[in-house]
Amino acid sequence: MGFKEKPSQFVESRRVANSRVDVFYRWLTLFLLVFFAVIMITPFIWLLSSSLKTQINIFQYPPQLFPDPVVPENYLYALTYKPFGIYFRNTVFVAGMNVIAVVFTSSFCAYGFARMRFPGRDFWFGIVMATLFLPYAVLLVPSFIIFSRLGWVDTFLPLVVPPFFGGGAFNIFLMRQFFRTIPEEIADAARIDGCSEFGVYWRIMLPLSKPALITIGIFTFLFAWNDLIGPITYLRSPDNFTIAVGLASFRSQTDIHWDLQLAASTAVTLPVILLFFLAQRYFIQGVVMTGLKG
Amino acid sequence: MSSLAQSAYSDAHLWITRQYNRLSLKRRRTIIGYIFILPFILGFFIWFLVPALVAANLTVHRWNLISPPRFVGMFQFNKMLSDPILAQSLKVTFIFSAISVPLGLIFAFFLANLINTKVRGIAIFRTIYFLPSIVPAVANAILWAWLFNTEFGLINFVIRAFGGPKIGWLQDPNWVMLAFVILTIWGVGGSMIIFLAGLQGIPQIFYEAAEIDGAGRWQRLLYVTLPMMSPIIFFNLVIGFINSFQIFVSALLITNGGPQHATLFLVLYVYRTAFQSQKMGYAAVLSWLLFAILMLLSFIVFRYIGSRVYYENPGD
């Protein structure tokens, strides 16, 4: 690795000759980095700043960049105006069940696809790949018909049960790719010691796949936390709302209370950003895994 | 009773074990293999195939969820062909996709190149560029509705500060598409990270070889980076198209399809037809249409762009 990155002598000398151009590009890069950082971060600052303004100050032109006076009470009003505590509990339940489902069943199926050899395996893996790029908007109406026949509308079941069946093509695919990087010799050693295939999966593969499992767990949690279209389709009574539905209905009911809407939005975004900083490594790894190991 | 059940259970267990032991090793592996992938197979039938068939059956029925479905034959397909709102919906979805996907791709690629430099504190820049893509969709919609606010929004404030006009971002059908493109492009962090990982995977030695041959910055980008990145560009393109066709939350919450149906994207129209107008049959027709369009688009993308992609290890 080391010698690959070190440029050869010849290139080094050319670099010196080009140094003035290099310095220019260096400054240009730095300028662009800062410029786009400002553009990307300004909406966040605007969100935070507006969420701390009074109702009067928020409708002011030109707008105040920094709120004066600062009104942290907005958060209290916003989060008690609607029972966000209940929404939070519901969301954690739905997201938690999804994480459990995805982590265990997608790895279980992936083990079959990655490590077992049997007729029909490639056919079924082909079906996994075919459903990989199928957006769930396509299945919105068909699934709703099934769930309404089952009498599951206005329960958490439509959001919580389906992930237990394989945990989604994407996660199966990712886990399969990850399992294939683990040396088969480890599993063979366990088999010689009398371990069954299920034992190999449970005692060898799962413990070795912790980073991948954490990654898909985090992404599943995020997806469930952020998802609106699923909950808004199935959940009817306010007691069952998740945070996303609660926030959407909060918006429709507090039309011009931008201060409260923005405070609630900030409050909903904060846990996600916190999660990001706690598990940054897994986020990046997850995005990269989804993109590259094809 | 319980001891009877226990002995029945142990008898059954014994029988299954005996049958299982009689099988050849190959058969056993097949059975175990299918046990592993069984959850997926069941899920495929229960949550995919059955709903798809039920929806197919519903396309020839009219159903408002309450009274029993009524057979109407090809009526809803004919309706689809002459539905002006559907035509509008398809038009805005295609326009949105055609603008936001290429722009998003270029911007993500550009940012990835920016953050692929060795500058002190580059990790902070990477974080800042990535963060917008994890903001929850609903919060994101509220934030952008406020940023685009005509009177008090930050964007119009900046434009007016530079002497520009007051733009009705969310009220003017001509501007609202651009507003949606901007808010989509703000969240390109995910594709950016995928590009970044790809850039870091290109062996440095290729650049050195190109430099020795006298290639400048642009030539290195054109003849080393782009060909090496083509599978990743392709991946982001496919994902981008599929995501752009699914735009829903921001359209529902920011403009609710307006003004004058200028943001009535396809998924929002399907959602409305099914859950606000209670026309399940017609919604099923539209779902199949969405499916057909996405399949066709994927086919075109794979056929005409996928074949130009360079893979270092084909068939890996």
pLDDT in tens, B23-51: 888 888 899 999 999 999 999 999 889 99
Instruction: Report the pLDDT value the prediction gives residue B316, as an integer from 0 to 100.
Output: 39
Question: Which residues of chain B lie closer than 8 angstroms to A280, CB-CB?
Answer: 127
Interface probe, candidates B143, B159, B293, chain A, greatest A C-beta count within 10 A: B143
Question: Taking Cα atoms as reference points, which of B127, B187, B140 lies closest to residue A264?
Answer: B140
Interface mutation vs chain A, best among B20, B32, B36, most A CBs within 10 Å: B36
Instruction: Out of A11-15, A68-72, A134-138, B163-167, pick the least confident.
Output: A11-15
The three state secondary structure string of chain A is CHHHHCCCHHHHHHHHHCHHHHHHHHHHHHHHHHHHHHHHHHHHHHHHHHHCCCHHHHCCCCCCCCCCCCCCHHHHHHHHHCCHHHHHHHHHHHHHHHHHHHHHHHHHHHHHHHHCCCCCHHHHHHHHHHHHCCCCCCCHHHHHHHHHHCCCCCCCHHHHCHHHCCCCHHHHHHHHHHHCCCCHHHHHHHHHCCCCHHHHHHHHHHHHCHHHHHHHHHHHHHHHHHCCHHHHHHCCCHHHCCHHHHHHHHHHHCCCCHHHHHHHHHHHHHHHHHHHHHCHHHHHHHHHHHHHCC
Q: For residue A15, what pLDDT band results from cuts at 50, 70 and 90?
A: low
Distance from CA of A5 to the nearest CA of B (A): 6
Name residue A119's amino acid: P
Cis peptide before A135 (omega within 30 of 0): no
Question: How far is B102 from B93, CA to CA, in rounded Å?
Answer: 14
Mean pLDDT along residues A288-293: 61
pLDDT at A5 over 50: no
User: Nearest CA to B140 among B105, B95, B185, B206?
Assistant: B185
Shortest CB distance from B58 goes to which of A118, A145, A273? A145
Q: How far apart are CA B112 and CA B126, in angstroms?
A: 9
Instruction: Verify whether the Cβ–Cβ distance B136 to A127 is below 8 Å.
Output: no
By C-alpha distance, the chain A residue nearest B211 is A11
Q: Identify all chain B residues contacting A145, using CB atoms and an 8 Å cutoff.
A: 51, 54-55, 58, 280, 284
- List the single residue in A with minimal CA-CA distance to B137: A226
Tell whether B9 is within 8 A of chain A (Cβ).
no
Chain B residues near residue A264 by CB distance under 8 angstroms: 142
pLDDT band, residue A36 (cuts 50/70/90): very high
pLDDT at B312: 62
pLDDT, tens digit, for every residue of B235-256? 888 888 888 988 999 999 999 9
- Residues of A within 8 A of B52 (CB-CB) are 139, 142
pLDDT in tens, A204-247: 999 999 888 998 898 899 889 999 999 999 999 989 999 999 99
Are A118 and B29 inside 8 Å of each other by CB?
yes
Q: Give residue A294's pLDDT.
A: 40
Answer yes or no: do A165 and B208 touch at CB < 8 A: no
Ranking A17-31, A43-57, A204-218, A241-255 by mean pLDDT, the lowest is A17-31
Residue B285: its pLDDT value, please?
92
Q: Provide the chain B residues 268-297 that lie in CB contact (below 8 A) with chain A.
A: 270-271, 274-275, 280, 283-284, 286-287, 290-291, 294
CB A200 within 8 A of CB A190: yes
Asked if the C-beta of B242 comes within 8 angstroms of chain A's C-beta atoms, the answer is yes
For residues B75-100, give the mean pLDDT: 93
pLDDT at A282: 81
DSSP letters for chain B? -HHHHHHHHHHHHHHHHHHHHHS-HHHHHHHHHHHHHHHHHHHHIIIIIHHHHHHHHHTTEE--SSSPPEE-TTHHHHHHHT-HHHHHHHHHHHHHHHHHHHHHHHHHHHHHHHTTS--TTHHHHHHHHHGGGGS-HHHHHHHHHHHT-TTT-HHHHHHHHTT-----TTT-HHHHHHHHHHHHHHTTHHHHHHHHHHHHTS-HHHHHHHHHTT--HHHHIIIIIHHHHHHHHHHHHHHHHHHHHT--HHIIIIITT-STTTT--HHHHHHHHHHTS--HHHHHHHHHHHHHHHHHHHHHIIIIIGGG---SSTT-
* pLDDT band per the 50, 70, 90 thresholds, residue B2: low
